[in-house]
Structure 1
């Protein structure tokens, strides 16, 4: 059987299995708020348990290590240029909230702020940092969703400077009811 498949460099294989949506992660180091763009996120079960990839190369990483808390803010496709801008400068020398017109909103359980322009915000505590893999494990403690927001499509990073936008939803709840842990 012939195929048109070409060899892909193994170092690019991650671009084939795109994880969860691009998110903005806010922190507060006790002095100031900061925000970073994270393109690798993952839900780690049927609960509010998440993983993000980051490390010492991100200015916010020190705040994550010290405070053990953050907010995951979910931007929508209309915010793609803001998300990329946030991810291409450093909070070390830039007030990203001011530069990108983001509105911080006081969270209820953590010092890191919510972002009012985002579709959703999840207050989180850091439960583990796996240095070997640059993974930060988070447990959600409160979540907020702006149902009045017209744009609800999220952004997914492919990993090569291109992005995928969520499309329309396909409802198969009836087929899956009673088939998943905890039902639907």
Structure 2
């Protein structure tokens, strides 16, 4: 069925509002800066991203806070924002693979410092400087991030670059995932709220029995 055409004189629903009603504030709320809106909805933990090749000693590591789950199977897909301002951009573009590591809150300060150190600014090896263990992955050349305070590692290959030019958004396909034997799965991750403010996971609320519509996704 063809889309219904607008009647003559019909306006966009937002454009039809009067100036006075548009300026009114909803009860109990106040206006928030649009450029900061990501701080209200960014749910994912801060991640470490390793690129390059461990065997060729070209591996690098960086920190990101912008990412999203795009699809959980057939195949699983994850989106990350990584732009040309990052030294890892060219490497990811060339090798089309990386590792996403989930650090625990115990090394939050170290993770922030990694994010404030660029491989382009100096010849310092960030793995050595921050005492990180680079471990061989099984499906990609980029290394896993080892250590007692790394919750998980996900080996990924680039699935789609259609949004890289416009949005610096890479669609990755996980090809192997690992969880730490010493950290509980879903341990204390931490999240970036903007302006360098982090929030750590706290109380765990288990509503698995209430997920009656999505039981196929409950282990």
1:43-85 C-alpha deviation (Å, 9 max, x unpaired): 1122331111111000001111000000000001011111101
SS of the counterpart of 1:180? helix
1:92-111, aligned counterparts within 5 Å? 92=120, 93=122, 94-111=124-141
1:7-22, aligned counterparts within 5 Å? 7-22=31-46
Please say if 1:123 is aligned against 2:147: no
Name which of 166, 171, 182 aligns with 2:206: 171
Equivalent pair of 1:125/1:138 in contact (CA under 8 Å): yes
1:80-134 C-alpha deviation (Å, 9 max, x unpaired): 1111011001122231101100000000111100011211000000112212111
Q: TM-score, normalised by structure 1?
A: 0.92
* Unaligned 5+ runs, structure 1: none
The CA RMSD measured in Å over matched residues stands at: 2.0
Please say if 1:140 is aligned against 2:170: no
Counterpart CA distance in 2 for 1:121 and 1:12 is 29
* Unaligned 5+ runs, structure 2: 1-24
Cα deviation, residue 31, structure 1: 4.9
Equivalent pair of 1:27/1:71 in contact (CA under 8 Å): yes
Q: TM-score, normalised by structure 2?
A: 0.78
1:62-77, aligned counterparts within 5 Å? 62-77=90-105
Greater RCO, 1 or 2 (C-alpha within 8 Å, sep 6+): 1
Equivalent pair of 1:26/1:113 in contact (CA under 8 Å): yes
The number of residue pairs the alignment matches comes to: 183
Equivalent pair of 1:155/1:165 in contact (CA under 8 Å): yes
Counterpart CA distance in 2 for 1:161 and 1:60 is 21
Equivalence for 1:39: 65
SS of the counterpart of 2:191? strand
SS of the counterpart of 1:125? strand
Please say if 1:82 is aligned against 2:110: yes
Compared CA separation, residues 2 and 42, structure 1 to 2 (3 A) = closer
Equivalent pair of 1:19/1:40 in contact (CA under 8 Å): no
**Structure (1 or 2) with the larger CA radius of gyration:** 2
